[in-house]
Amino acid sequence: MAAIVEIEQVSFGYEASRPVLHDVNVRIEQGKVIGVMGQSGCGKTTLLRIIGGALRPSAGTARVLGAEIAALGTRELYALRRKMGMLFQFGALFTDLSVFDNVAFPLREHTRLPEAVLRDLVLLKLEAVGLRGAAGLRPSELSGGMARRVALARAIALDPKLILYDEPFTALDPISLGVVARLIRRLNDSLGATSIVVTHDVAETLPFVDYVFFMADGRVVAEGPPQEVARAKVPFVEQFVHGRPDGAVPFHFPAPRYASDLGIEAA
């Protein structure tokens, strides 16, 4: 199957002395829902930002929808982004616009559709996320889950080929969480898109993704279909999936011996 994202030997650091990604290899096939999982600070959001073209790798190549990210100028990057949608951690809705205008925003910016057609399209997208009735509300009147769904409607407004999700389940109640998870799967399949979900929520993510990458310390430590990876004897994955406090990721931050710190160690 054709790869829609190909990350080869990609390294990146915000500062040269502190690399965040080391030789990362990721291949994502068209039509799949992919989970990228790992602890906070493991580099998964950085990887997502590289795929979205917000960051350029310091080494290696990142090809997205057939384009080499590092070689793109601003104009070409913006042309590529028209084929992408992104859901931010807290929705990132425009607070000065209504729900309707938020979803209409990309359509107004990139198309010259008559207002009547645009209205129908926006209502269609809002209906897909179950919030057609909230079209007239302001973002401040929405719950966290509703805001995330509106942001999802906005992300799919231009029928993207690739949808990026940055921690879509953060701070959601169980009902909203289930709704968002089902929507990610359903919208991906109905649009024929490819979705990349960056998250650390294991229980909610593993059941609906097709393939998963586990990351630790800026490296991909395991990958495969969720059931296979969950069964694999990779210490980090075992600890992460079962939420064990100690293991590959130690409970204690590196420190001198406790007794020595307390001054009670025998000389």
Partner 1 sequence: MLARLRQPFERLGSAVMSRVWRLGFAARFFGYMLMHSGTAFGRFRLTIREIYFAGVLSLIIILVSGLFVGMVLGLQGYETLQRYGSSEALGILVALSLVRELGPVVAGLLFASRAGSAITAEIGLMKATEQIAAMEMMAVDPIARVVAPRFWAGVISMPLLAALFSAMGIFGGYLVGVQLIGVDEGAFWSQMQASVDVRNDIVNGVIKSVVFGVAVTWIAVFEGYDARPTAEGVSSATTRTVVTSSLAILALDFMLTALMFTGGNG
- Separation between Cα atoms, residue 249 and residue 239, nearest integer Å: 8
Interface with partner 1 (CB under 8 A): 52, 54, 74, 78-79, 81-82, 84-86, 88-90, 92-95, 105-106, 109-110, 151, 154, 164
* Angle CA 7–157–129, to nearest 5: 100
Does the CA dihedral 181-208-9-74 come out positive or negative? negative
Which C-beta is closer to partner 1: that of 110 or that of 182?
Answer: 110
Closest to 50 measured CA to CA, from 6, 92, 90: 6
How far apart are CB 66 and partner 1 at their closest, in Å?
A: 17
How far apart are CB 241 and partner 1 at their closest, in Å?
A: 29
Which C-beta is closer to partner 1: that of 90 or that of 208?
Answer: 90
How far apart are CB 5 and partner 1 at their closest, in Å?
A: 15
Which C-beta is closer to partner 1: that of 25 or that of 89?
Answer: 89
How far apart are CB 181 and partner 1 at their closest, in Å?
A: 21
Which C-beta is closer to partner 1: that of 79 or that of 124?
Answer: 79
- Separation between Cα atoms, residue 179 and residue 157, nearest integer Å: 19
Which C-beta is closer to partner 1: that of 107 or that of 221?
Answer: 107
Which C-beta is closer to partner 1: that of 47 or that of 222?
Answer: 47
Question: DSSP of 121-185, one letter per residue?
Answer: HHHHHHHHTT-GGGTT--GGGS-HHHHHHHHHHHHTTT--SEEEEESTTTT--HHHHHHHHHHHH
- Separation between Cα atoms, residue 239 and residue 88, nearest integer Å: 27
> What interhelical angle do 115-128 and 174-191 show, nearest 10?
120
How far apart are CB 147 and partner 1 at their closest, in Å?
A: 11
How far apart are CB 109 and partner 1 at their closest, in Å?
A: 5
How far apart are CB 84 and partner 1 at their closest, in Å?
A: 7
Which C-beta is closer to partner 1: that of 57 or that of 85?
Answer: 85
What are the angstrom distances between the C-alpha of 63 and each of 56, 208, 265?
A: 11, 25, 56
The answer to whether the beta carbons of residues 169 and 201 sit under 8 Å apart is yes
